[in-house]
Chains A and B, each alone.
Chain A
């Protein structure tokens, strides 16, 4: 008796046998056993477990994802002073509040910019920030705007010839605007180190101006 070939047995795992094949399997114990073995083999293949990737796989994948700009890690956000990625929207809101809420800061910044758009001109309203990339860009612009504001503030305090502005009350009035905006920014993002830094700086500067008013001294702590 000629036994069924492996090709035929393999086919019969999925397909119905023709009458001759059926008859043969009924009569031949060896082919019946082989067919059972083939079916068992396919069942075992179907039940193969998932495989754990090698250790370190995520670390190298993450490095590639970051290098291709596909993910932003907490480190990316720490660089900009944020605790973690999920806070970006809150942080972006705080930036807009901060720069949008301070007429003084904006006026100083505009004054410092010669030609081309100033950072705050490029800031998007909160409702238009739709991606992490935009939020991070807003942080960078906010930082630039803050530094420009600071530079203008210094310019405002001291003339180019080194002489001091002698009207501390004007300075105090200007600082009140910055203080209100900083407080609002910290209220929106209370754990954010950048905005807390802004607030501390403004409070310290305000304190210094108050001290100047009371003592007449004129130190530049910046």
Chain B
């Protein structure tokens, strides 16, 4: 069954069709939401909210954009709105994320984990801009629109976020055990 047929069926409330869409796109939806939320539990809630919104809005999907793009935009909007409307946010030490990457190459696994760890520690606004720009490929105009800021502010936040990430990662590498051969290799790989 092709995607157009799946979408038609999902639009009619067909459970297996919705499940098929979920199986195909949930890793990407969860990834962007998890990175914006910087929290595993919140990410699950936000991702579910994004799916509910998307399935509810399916009848309005006209196919002008790819479904993956449309869905991704809903996920980003949903997560940003959830973060914005959260009344309080727990400021706490974030452990290495438990979330599993979808089959990352083994040699990149630790690097990915370090990046996720550092992303979680960025101030919320910087993190959002960095994720949207460097991870998801949004332009500054799009980010300004999504976050309700100017292009200039988006750029400024991005540069600060990159700088902060660089510091976090350098500190992380410095703090790793020098006696560990694996850690030494990763450190070498990272500190080009």
Contacts and interface: CB of A to CB of B under 8 A. Distances in A.
25 contacts: A10-B166, A13-B162, A37-B166, A37-B192, A41-B165, A45-B165, A46-B135, A47-B108, A48-B31, A48-B115, A49-B108, A50-B101, A51-B101, A52-B26, A52-B27, A54-B44, A57-B44, A57-B48, A58-B22, A64-B52, A65-B15, A85-B14, A85-B15, A131-B13, A132-B13
Interface residues of B, number: 53
B interface: dominant SS? helix
A49 B47 CA distance: 17
Interface in A1-43: 5-7, 9-11, 13, 33-34, 36-38, 40-42
Contacts of A57: 26, 30, 44, 47-48
Most buried by A among B40, B134, B161: B134
Contacts of A131: 12-13
Interface string B141-171: 0000000000000010011111101110100
A48 B134 CA distance: 10
Contacts of B112: 44, 48-49
Interface string B29-42: 01100110000100
Given A46-B137, A48-B101, A51-B100, 5 more contacts: A46-B134, A51-B30, A52-B100, A71-B18, A76-B15
B115 A49 contact: no
Contact of B18 (A10, A60, A65, A69): A65
